[in-house]
């Protein structure tokens, strides 16, 4: 029986458990010999993309200390991750030992870039070595490895018991195919029919429906004064953990609601929640076909037609920044709801079917807050994702709501079990724990047309990216622990939709006014009211001067105070029609033209 991965990729195996005969330099030491680990940008980077031996001879080895008796059933190997060189091992031996001195050869194997070797007979031991025997003739001995192994029962092993993570939640911890995902959503809907609704936002390139599940006390209906929240996952099809976390979240919320949890019941009654687990089901199918350990770093990342969905949105940053440079705001252009350019909407533009479906969904529903779950790192990123300076790959590029975004990002990262732990090992090359597990997207790597920037500039919704685990596609056996790592964060972030101010903009007859502008003094980014005149404005605690403007109505201002407790401050407005708009309305109603007054001049007191 094949055992699960021991955890070189997920970091369950720590650096002190990895040893090697030699290393070329520290950045290519044994601690870098982990499956799918990614290199830095430079050839001599401190964080390189493999273990590389200091000499090229058959006496080199990479060793893993399991720290307890383990049944070893297989090994998975890769070559080096590098932009500058091609290094991989073409054949190797596997040896095991109980004392790290006496070794028994277990299996001869061969490798071609990525190799999965299951042993014909499992071996029980504490230590395992991979001994390269031949390698690419123009390269060097370099490897990334994962070991398949099952810990043997040992009640006396304090180290294992101390580090074991268990869950008490009765959820379906497995990877779900498209059909299984759809079935699970139906099961949850049948369990909680009064608070759930399944719908789809469109289709993928291959025709698979993009299913979402709504969780609310009135499914299918926008309630004035109740904010809309969304989680999406799987825009990169091979980043599977986010997809499974959302499927676990919907099960958890249904079960907790039925059991009477005050926290979940309050969240469901006061919020309209939308979960879209698989934005890119076509890419997911590709990754699932080869499995969690062999899908590599990029198989299934893109849509069926080769598009990176998360960065396939229109670049509205350039449009806004050009208007700011030309001083067009607010005279010729507004600082919010930046329109989509015509070229992007044409049929010939390179826009994925999935992206078009997302854009339509984001425009249709007045979302207030959203998070998209990504994989391969442990960090939360927030807009802007594109640098303002031309030709600069990394630069802090804040939005006018930078303080709010930083709080939102920290609310997720600080409640995650690992993101802010300064003792944890970095996933690949960046130590985000030093930054409290958060980073401005553009200061990490610049990218035009991101979902986060588009959401902020084209809609009212503040969108962030949560990179929820080092392993993009963790083994099924890891899902329970990953759920424990992220469960509280997923709930806390949803609750942040109730921070700031909310209200309704009425006319004198008590009717809600749609598309009224909500302006916060000192923040150069406005939002608009929804169809019923209701609005939500995310803000940190403090006093704010709020001004409401609507076409044909007089502006109205008031001071609203935001407290520290969860729960948005109610801040309603009633506005009256301007005299000019009343005259226009009368003229249109009676089909009459306004009377033109003769021009009068007054000079020296005479007309």
**What is the distance, to the nearest Å, from the Cα of residue 244 to the centroid of all Cα atoms in its chain?**
13
Question: What are φ and ψ of residue 599, in 5° steps?
Answer: -70, 130
pLDDT at 325 over 80: yes
The interaxial angle of helices 451-458 and 316-325, nearest 10 deg, is 50
pLDDT of residue 156: 63
Q: What is the C-alpha separation between 202 and 222, in angstroms, rounded?
A: 20
Rounded to 10 deg, the angle between the 241-258 and 178-191 helix axes is 10
Tell me how crowded residue 262 is: count the other CB atoms within 10 A of its CB: 8
For the ranges 186-190, 210-214, 564-568, 598-602, the lowest mean pLDDT is seen at: 598-602
Residues 88, 420: Cα–Cα separation, whole Å: 34
Averaged pLDDT for residues 87-101 = 92
Least confident of 87-91, 483-487, 500-504, 535-539: 87-91
From residue 479, how far is each of 13, 162, 243, 380, 468 by CA, in Å?
Answer: 17, 19, 11, 20, 12
- pLDDT exceeds cutoff 90 at 339: yes
How many angstroms separate the Cα of 487 from the Cα of each of 267, 289, 412, 472, 574? 15, 28, 10, 17, 41
Give mean pLDDT, residues 559-572. Answer: 94
- Which parts of 48-113 are beta strand (E)? 51-52, 62-78, 89-97, 104-110
Is the CA virtual torsion 112, 4, 423, 68 positive or negative?
negative
Residue 298 confidence (pLDDT) above 80: yes
Q: Is the pLDDT of residue 224 over 80?
A: yes
Res 555: pLDDT: 95
Checking if the pLDDT of 302 tops 70, the result is: yes
What's the confidence (pLDDT) of residue 313? 97
User: Each residue of 196-222: pLDDT tens digit?
Assistant: 999 999 999 999 999 999 999 999 999
Average pLDDT over residues 130-159: 84
Whole-angstrom Cα distance, residue 400 to residue 384? 10
Would you say 485 and 415 are in contact if contact means Cβ atoms under 8 Å apart? no
Whether 67 has a pLDDT exceeding 90, the answer reads yes
Q: What is the pLDDT of residue 370?
A: 98
Question: What percent of the chain is predicted at pLDDT more than 70?
Answer: 93
Render the burial of 421-447: b for 16+ CB within 10 Å, e for the rest.
eeebebbbbbebbebbbbbbbbbbebb
Quick check: helix, strand or coil at residue 390?
coil
SS3 call for 34 = strand
């Amino acid at each position: 029986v094949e055992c699960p991965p021991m955890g070189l990729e997920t970091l369950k195996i720590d650096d002190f458990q990895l040893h090697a005969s030699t290393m070329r330099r520290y950045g290519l030491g044994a601690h870098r010999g982990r499956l799918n680990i990614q290199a830095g940008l430079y050839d001599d980077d401190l964080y390189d993309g493999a273990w590389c031996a200091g000499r090229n001879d058959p006496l080199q080895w990479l060793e893993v200390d399991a720290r307890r008796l383990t049944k070893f059933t297989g090994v998975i190997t890769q070559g080096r991750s590098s932009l500058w060189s091609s290094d991989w091992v073409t054949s190797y031996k596997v040896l095991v030992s109980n004392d790290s001195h006496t070794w028994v050869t277990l299996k001869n194997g061969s490798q071609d870039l990525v190799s999965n070797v299951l042993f014909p007979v499992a071996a029980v031991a504490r230590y395992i070595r991979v001994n390269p025997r031949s390698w690419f003739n123009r390269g060097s001995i370099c490897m990334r490895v994962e070991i398949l192994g099952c810990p043997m029962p040992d009640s006396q092993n304090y180290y294992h018991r101390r580090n074991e993570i268990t869950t008490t939640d009765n959820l379906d911890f497995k990877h779900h195919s498209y059909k299984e995902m759809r079935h699970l959503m139906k099961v949850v809907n049948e369990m909680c029919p009064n608070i759930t609704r399944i719908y789809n936002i469109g289709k993928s390139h291959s025709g698979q429906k993009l299913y979402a599940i709504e969780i609310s006390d009135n499914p299918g209906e926008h309630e004035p004064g109740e904010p809309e929240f969304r989680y999406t996952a799987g825009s990169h099809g091979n980043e599977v953990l986010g997809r499974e976390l959302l499927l676990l979240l919907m099960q958890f919320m249904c079960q907790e609601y039925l059991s009477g949890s005050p926290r979940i019941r309050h969240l469901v009654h006061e919020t309209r929640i939308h979960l879209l687990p698989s934005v890119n089901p076509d890419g997911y199918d590709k990754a699932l076909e080869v499995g969690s350990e062999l899908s590599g770093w990029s198989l299934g990342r893109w849509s069926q037609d080769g598009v990176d969905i998360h960065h396939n949105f229109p670049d509205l940053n350039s449009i806004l920044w050009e208007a700011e440079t030309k001083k067009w705001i607010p005279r010729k252009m507004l600082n919010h709801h930046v329109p989509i350019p015509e070229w992007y909407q044409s049929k010939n533009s390179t826009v994925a079917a999935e992206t078009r479906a997302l854009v339509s969904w984001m425009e249709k529903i007045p979302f207030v807050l959203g998070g998209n779950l990504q994989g391969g790192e442990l960090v939360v990123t927030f807009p802007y994702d594109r640098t303002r300076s031309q030709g600069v790959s990394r630069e802090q590029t804040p939005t006018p709501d930078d303080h709010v975004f930083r709080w939102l990002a920290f609310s997720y990262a600080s409640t995650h079990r690992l993101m802010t732990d300064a003792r944890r090992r970095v996933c690949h090359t960046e130590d985000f724990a030093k930054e409290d597990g958060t980073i401005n997207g553009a200061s990490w790597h610049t990218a035009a047309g991101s979902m986060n920037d588009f959401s902020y500039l084209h809609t009212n919704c503040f969108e962030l990216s949560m990179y929820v685990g080092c392993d993009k596609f963790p083994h099924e056996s890891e899902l329970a622990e990953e759920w424990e790592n992220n469960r509280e964060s997923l709930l806390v972030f949803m609750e942040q939709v109730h921070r700031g101010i909310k209200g309704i903009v009425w006319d004198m007859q008590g009717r809600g006014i749609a598309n009224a502008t909500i302006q916060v003094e000192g923040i150069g980014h406005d939002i608009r009211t929804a169809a019923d005149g209701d609005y939500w404005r995310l803000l940190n605690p403090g006093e704010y001067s709020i001004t409401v403007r609507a076409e044909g109505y007089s502006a109205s201002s008031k001071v609203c105070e935001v407290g520290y407790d969860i729960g948005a401050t109610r801040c309603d407005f009633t506005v009256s029609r301007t005299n000019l708009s009343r005259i226009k309305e009368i003229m249109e109603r009676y089909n009459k033209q306004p009377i033109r007054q003769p021009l009068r001049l007054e000079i020296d007191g005479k007309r």
